[in-house]
């Protein structure tokens, strides 16, 4: 039996906890509402106005001018996240964090100690509330997909059980987008085939789906639509990626300015990788132009790296290949396909002298940054900044 736990309006709920006088008001956490960043999240009151995560903050402001707009205070959220995960690990070591506010638990075999899954779910909600003053929603189901779905169906402050004998009746009427992996485009393609609900996917002739979506996708969405999912809870799974992105205050046409931003973002990604002892096998550049067209380009690195320089070098190559024709609104750098632990190749053969030296310098810079803040030290080309502020997004 799998439990899925997801905090309700996480950043907004934490801000409300810190400022109880805001109770009942629509709270929007994210970038400066006068700027061009995005909404990180918002309270359920704000959602009534159509505001949601990742929406341009200016759009949120149009929809909800009476909202309370607050900046992101990551340290607070990370601390609460640790508290939540700690509560969960009291019930089983099989806890797989999925994001800052969400985790799967495998509670098979915990019944003797803590009672049936629903009781465990209730206790988790109670203990999280007691220790963090935050509410969460919990889903209980035979597998990951259904447990996460159960959580979503019960939000906020829900406790939803999908029993094995009620899977079909729960799934069948839902819209196809509830199936993990079915986005807007797939949904449109399904609609063109007359398929609108999860139940219709489950019963559609497999051959017909294959002809449109290929073997792998068909297998994937049809199994999920039937409520089948055999993914295990993996307590030590690495995050999928580490990334950082910025929206410029004003669309930028100067390639030098863009490269400088990419240098800074590469540094942030490198620092985050080193902090956790990860290295990235893939480096990805994201670039959004003024018309909101977004391109991503990635490259695989051998060996995987946690070095600012190696990341930046790769990003520059990708950037050179995708020089935008229109002014640029947003740039992002991501390290993906993460691996953990020491660089095997390096320990076997020993890296070249200069690589070792760069690694030593970068680690020393991390220490200074930890002590004095992220902006304490920067590569020389970041120090002079002739014009233009940047906004966090
Ligand atoms: P979610 O769990 O997706 O959202 P939520 O907890 O705010 O609201 P709920 O689960 O009740 O629907 O994400 C957790 C946090 O991650 C969220 O509080 C803020 C952050 N986040 C972003 O910064 N940007 C995003 O686009 C999303 C989806 C989340
Ligand atoms: Mg949440």
Region 141-162 average pLDDT: 98
Provide the 3-class DSSP secondary structure of residue 93: coil
Indicate the range of 194-198, 220-224, 355-359 predicted with least confidence: 355-359
Q: In the Cβ-directed half-sphere of 78, how many Cα atoms lie within 13 Å?
A: 4
Neighbours of 230 (CB within 10 A): 8
Dihedral, 137, 223, 117, 124 alpha carbons, nearest 10:
-30
234 in active site: no
Kindly give, in sequence order, each residue whose CB lies less than 8 Å from that of residue 318, ignoring residues fewer than 6 positions away.
Answer: 283, 284, 285, 297, 298, 299
- For residues 110 and 161, the model is more confident at 161
In 3-state terms, what secondary structure has residue 171? helix
155 lines ligand 1 (CB under 6 A): yes
Which pLDDT tens digit goes with each residue over 201-216?
999 999 999 999 999 9
pLDDT at 391: 39
Give the per-residue pLDDT at 372: 57
Predicted TM-score (pTM) of the model is 0.81
Selection from 267, 219, 216, 222 nearest residue 376 by Cα: 267
100 C-alpha to ligand 1 centroid (Å): 9
Is 132 a pocket residue for ligand 1 (Cβ < 6 Å)? no
Confidence of residue 144 (pLDDT cuts 50, 70, 90): very high
Token pair 């950037």 is at which residue?
A: 319
Q: Is the CB of 323 under 6 A from ligand 1?
A: no
Q: What's the pLDDT at 343?
A: 61
Retrieve residue 362's tokens: 């970068």
The better pLDDT of the pair 225, 348 is held by: 225
User: Considering only CA atoms, which of 324, 329, 316, 325 is closest in space to residue 283?
Assistant: 316
Catalytic residue among 15, 45, 102, 245: 102
Q: Tell me, in angstroms, the distance from the centre of ligand 1 to residue 45's CA.
A: 15
Angle at 184 between CA 291 and CA 283, to 5 degrees: 65
Closest CA to ligand 1's atom 21: 40
- C-alpha dihedral sign at 48, 52, 57, 59: negative
Residue 1 has pLDDT above 50, yes or no: yes
> What phi and psi, each to the nearest 5 degrees, are found at residue 58?
-65, -35
Reported as a pLDDT band with limits 50, 70 and 90, residue 379 is low
Q: Which of 82-91, 105-114, 127-136, 307-316 has the lowest mean pLDDT?
A: 105-114
Say what the pLDDT of residue 105 is.
98
* 80, 101, 103, 247: residue to mutate for ligand 1 pocket, most atoms within 8 A of CB: 101
Q: What is the pLDDT of residue 239?
A: 83
Q: Is 243 in the pocket of ligand 1 (CB under 6 A)?
A: no
Sign of the alpha-carbon torsion through 141, 99, 84, 30: negative
Contact 123/18 with Cβ under 8 angstroms? Answer: no
pLDDT recorded at residue 346: 53
The CA angle 270-370-133, to the nearest 5 degrees, is 100
Q: How confident is the model at residue 362 (pLDDT cuts 50, 70, 90)?
A: confident
255, containing H or E segment: helix 255-276
Q: Is 20 helix (H, G, I), strand (E, B) or coil?
A: helix
Nearest atom (ligand 1) to Cα of 30:
23
What's the rounded mean pLDDT across residues 154-168? 98
Question: Residue 388 and residue 250: Cα distance in Å, rounded?
Answer: 8
Q: How far apart are CA 61 and CA 39, in angstroms?
A: 10
What band does 261 get if pLDDT is binned at 50, 70 and 90? very high
Q: What's the CA dihedral at 168, 208, 183, 174 to 10 degrees?
A: -20
Cα dist from 291 to 19, 167, 294, whole Å: 38, 43, 9
> Which is more confidently placed, 183 or 352?
183
CA of 73 to the centre of ligand 1 (A): 14
43 alpha carbon, closest ligand = 1
CB-ligand 1 contact for 135 (6 Å cutoff)? no
In this structure, which residue's CA is closest to atom 27 in ligand 1? 53
Instruction: Please report the pLDDT score of residue 387 as a whole number.
Output: 40
Report every protein residue that has its C-beta within 5 angstroms of ion ligand 2.
Answer: 6-7, 10, 101
pLDDT of residue 378: 54
Sheet strands (E) in the chain: 2-7, 27-30, 39-42, 68-70, 95-99, 102-106, 136-141, 159-161, 241-252, 278-289, 294-305, 328-340, 390-392
Q: Write down the mean pLDDT value for the chain.
A: 91
Distance 31 CA to ligand 1 centre (A): 14
Beta bridge partners of 338: 280
More confident residue, 385 or 302: 302
Name the closest ligand to CA 12.
1
Residues 132/134/138/144 CA torsion (nearest 10 deg) = -70
Question: What's the pLDDT score for residue 360?
Answer: 74
């Amino acid at each position: 039996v799998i439990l899925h736990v997801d905090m309700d309006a996480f950043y907004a709920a934490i801000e409300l906890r810190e400022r109880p006088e805001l109770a009942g008001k629509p709270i929007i956490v994210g970038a400066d509402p006068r700027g061009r960043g995005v909404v990180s999240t918002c309270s359920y009151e704000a959602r009534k106005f159509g505001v949601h995560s990742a929406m341009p903050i200016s759009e949120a402001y149009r929809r909800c001018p009476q909202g309370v707009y607050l900046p992101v205070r990551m340290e607070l959220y990370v601390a609460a996240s640790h508290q939540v995960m700690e509560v969960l690990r009291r019930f089983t070591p099989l806890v797989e964090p999925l994001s800052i506010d969400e985790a799967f638990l495998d509670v098979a075999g915990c019944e003797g100690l803590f009672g049936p899954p629903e009781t465990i779910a209730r206790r988790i909600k109670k203990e999280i509330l007691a220790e963090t003053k935050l509410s969460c929603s919990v889903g209980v189901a035979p597998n990951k997909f259904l447990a996460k779905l159960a959580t979503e169906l019960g939000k906020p402050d829900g406790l939803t059980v999908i029993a094995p004998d009620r899977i079909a009746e729960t799934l069948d009427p839902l819209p196809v987008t509830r199936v993990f992996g079915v986005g807007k485009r797939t949904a449109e393609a399904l609609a063109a085939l007359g398929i609108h609900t999860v139940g219709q996917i489950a019963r559609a002739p497999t051959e017909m789906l294959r002809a449109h979506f290929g073997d792998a996708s068909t297998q994937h969405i049809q199994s999920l639509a039937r409520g089948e999912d055999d993914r295990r809870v993996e307590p030590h799974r690495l995050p999928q990626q580490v990334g950082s992105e910025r929206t410029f205050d004003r669309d930028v046409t100067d390639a030098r300015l863009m490269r400088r931003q990419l240098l800074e973002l590469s540094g942030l990604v490198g620092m985050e990788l080193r902090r956790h002892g990860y290295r990235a096998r893939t480096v990805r550049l994201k670039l959004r132009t003024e018309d909101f067209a977004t391109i991503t380009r990635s490259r695989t690195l051998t060996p995987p790296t946690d070095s600012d320089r190696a990341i930046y070098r790769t990003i520059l190559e990708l950037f050179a290949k995708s020089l935008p024709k229109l002014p640029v609104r947003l740039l992002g750098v991501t390290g993906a396909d993460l691996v953990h632990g020491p660089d095997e190749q390096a320990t076997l053969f020993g890296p070249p002298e200069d690589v070792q030296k760069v690694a030593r310098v970068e680690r020393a810079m991390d220490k200074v940054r930890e002590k004095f803040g992220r902006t304490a030290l920067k590569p020389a080309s970041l120090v002079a900044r002739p014009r233009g502020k940047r906004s966090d997004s």
